[in-house]
Structure 1
Amino acid sequence: MADKDSQNCEANRFIDKKVKILPIKNSELLSANPIFSCQLDGKGNGMPIESHGKATIAKPCWIHLDFSNQQTINWIQSTDLLPNLVKEELIKPNQISKETRFDSGILVVMRGVNYTPNTLPDPIVTFRFYITDNLVISTRHQQIDAISQLKENLEKGIGPVDVADWLIQVSELISDQVNLSFDGVHNKIIKLEDSVLNQHILSYKEIGRVRKQLIVLRRLLSPQRDIFVKISTERISWIDDNDRQRLHDISNQQNHYVSDIDSCLLRLASIMEQITSFLAESTNKRIYLMSVFTIIFTPITFLTSLLGVNLGGIPFNDRIWSFSLLVVLIFAISIVSVIWLRLKKWW
């Protein structure tokens, strides 16, 4: 019975006997034709990968691949460094944010934005990586600003010192890009609120663009917040308690921004209600003013229409003062109508 339970437990875990864990020759990694590669020196620098060297826990390697490159696809499909499920996930074009644990490492799919100031919406990018204690293999198709920033950090000597630090830094950089995008949207909402307070009528199209970006950001942040929590609770040998706390802090920050996005969506709904109220009030004022003028000119119109009938027998049509009397009568009717409206407090 114990043997059966052990087999069931083993079947529920992602195990691939063909996966190489140690040692990993750098020449195998370079054959993937990476768009960027380096070996961490443990001090925050990224050294070029030497073909005769090896990826170790002290000095792990990172290769960044473009999965649209056919040579890279062939390498991913044929290498023994990756479990079969990971191979499929690294080259799959459309992905959702998720994290999957394997015996040899973890697979993470993250989505972020390339923040572009004064532009809505920001481009959405997808980033996939498989990470073990001595190796990081990441893939992308679009250029990712967070990865470019991570490369700059390695050049400056302030990059990750190990694979856990790499995971944390790349998570922070991707989160920072999302947060910058949210801050840009938030500033836009403040301007919209100021315009509404000044009773400026805004276009629903402009509000719709801001609302769409908020919804996209929320869809990005919500699952990734759960990913950071999940990784921080996983028992992984190369993630220590300090790393788990940093991942937990990232998750808390994501949770804070999700709450802010929900608040901003409510503020946008309030803006739209105020605009609708302004439009309704403006329309009512115009209709009211037209109704007042209609009341004033209805008896005058009736009188002129009656006298304009082309028939004989109109009273005093042969008198010189008849036209003057008609004008005086029209003015008198107008004045009486205005006084009556004022007394009724309709005007």
Structure 2
Amino acid sequence: MTDPAEPLHALLLDGQGGARDLTGDEIRSWQPDQGVLWLHLDYSEPSAQQWLNEESGLPEVVIEALLTENTRPRATQVGDGLLIALRGVNLNPGADPDDMVSVRLYATPYLIISTRKRRLQSVTGLAADCRNGEGPRDVAELLIELSDRLVQRMGDVVEETEEALSELELEILEQQNASVRQSLSALRRQTIRLRRYFGPQRDAFNQLQSERLTWISADQKLLLREVSDRLLRHIEDLDMIRERAGMAQEEMISQLSDQLNQRMYILSLIAAIFLPLGFLTGLLGINVGGIPGADNPYAFELFSILLCILVALQLWLFKQRRWL
């Protein structure tokens, strides 16, 4: 085979958990009996696109899947190989975790070709472990290890999301402000987007277990099932977080409604107190003859005392009826 220009990783697994980087000449002279070859490419690079299309010798359906921009998690058997598309949470600096990063793989018993556009820490960490002698020994173990790392980082994000929700719930009980409402809405959006991608990924793991490939043993399929079960638990946690976030938002709306009702109630009481006062002052303020006390020098003081007595009677009446 020919060598792709500037691969991100070009590793030859030694079957003992270690791997070494290959040069272009070594890639061109590689034979399956030398060990498992793992090529990791950036599919947005023109050189990688050219190599896949013209020199890789892969089936057309595989090339199209490795180069596609938008992909859904899946696992499909192509001959004796396996075409896999997976997603991982975006842990790159300054990125949102729910902005999932996709990785595409075509795996045969002796060859793995993977592609991505953005950096995925699970792949980077796996390549580093291979160079340190702590990586997988064959293709099946590499797929299991990569799946496990993806799910593990998903679990970390789910745990962080749950902790953030707990803090928001506490803030809702202690205070009400616009920042809490915005944070809660952002958390709900993140949870919905994560749940949207986690579900298809579990379907891909299940499909991976069901494929009849001779180079994936029964024990390795059990390990894949464990990874799938862990992902299912994360999906269930996301569903619970989404329900809790919905309940927290309903509680916030209820508290805001109670505050509004309380303020409207106070305004209504104030209006009820000043309604008769306004009626009396308006009635006696008309410029027509016959107004009582117009010629009495003590009329204003007496009228003011009458208004104070009226307010006191109203307050007493409101208290008797438990309106205050």
Report the 3-state secondary structure (helix = DSSP H, G, I; strand = E; otherwise coil) of the residue aligned with 1:176.
helix
Structure 1 vs Structure 2: percent identity of aligned residues? 30
Spell out, residue by residue over 1:249-286, the C-alpha distance to the aligned partner (whole angstroms, 9 max, x if none).
00000111111111111111111111111111111111
Amino acid at match of 1:292: L
CA pair 129-191 structure 1, distance change in 2 beyond 3 A: same
Distance in 2, matches of 1:120 and 1:234, equals: 33
Aligned to 2:166, which of 178, 181, 190?
190
1:1-347 matched pairs, under 5 angstroms: 25=1, 28=2, 30-50=3-23, 51-52=25-26, 53-56=29-32, 59-79=35-55, 81-115=57-91, 120-201=96-177, 203-347=180-324
Report the 3-state secondary structure (helix = DSSP H, G, I; strand = E; otherwise coil) of the residue aligned with 1:54.
coil
Q: Return the offset for 1:74.
A: 1.5
Distance in 1, matches of 2:224 and 2:89, equals: 20
Report the 3-state secondary structure (helix = DSSP H, G, I; strand = E; otherwise coil) of the residue aligned with 1:239.
coil
Alignment TM-score, normalising by the size of structure 2? 0.93
Question: Which gives a bigger RCO, structure 1 or 2 (Cα 8 Å, sep 6+)?
Answer: 2
Report the 3-state secondary structure (helix = DSSP H, G, I; strand = E; otherwise coil) of the residue aligned with 2:119.
coil
- Check the 8 A contact 2:90/2:97 in 1, yes or no: no
Amino acid at match of 1:213: Q
Q: Return the offset for 1:161.
A: 1.2
Spell out, residue by residue over 1:208-253, the C-alpha distance to the aligned partner (whole angstroms, 9 max, x if none).
2111111111121111112112212222111112211110000000
- Check the 8 A contact 1:32/1:76 in 2, yes or no: no
Amino acid at match of 1:250: V
Distance in 2, matches of 1:164 and 1:152, equals: 18
Alignment TM-score, normalising by the size of structure 1? 0.87
In structure 2, list runs of 5 or more residues that go unmatched: none
Aligned length: 320
CA pair 339-120 structure 1, distance change in 2 beyond 3 A: farther
- Check the 8 A contact 2:5/2:47 in 1, yes or no: yes
CA pair 234-121 structure 1, distance change in 2 beyond 3 A: closer
Spell out, residue by residue over 1:105-149, the C-alpha distance to the aligned partner (whole angstroms, 9 max, x if none).
000011121226897554321110100000000011111111111
- Check the 8 A contact 1:114/1:177 in 2, yes or no: no
Spell out, residue by residue over 1:42-75, the C-alpha distance to the aligned partner (whole angstroms, 9 max, x if none).
1222212253442426610001111112221111
Distance in 1, matches of 2:107 and 2:98, equals: 28
CA pair 259-31 structure 1, distance change in 2 beyond 3 A: closer
In structure 1, list runs of 5 or more residues that go unmatched: 1-24
Distance in 2, matches of 1:117 and 1:194, equals: 28
Spell out, residue by residue over 1:73-94, the C-alpha distance to the aligned partner (whole angstroms, 9 max, x if none).
1111123541111011111111
Distance in 2, matches of 1:176 and 1:71, equals: 33
CA pair 301-118 structure 1, distance change in 2 beyond 3 A: farther
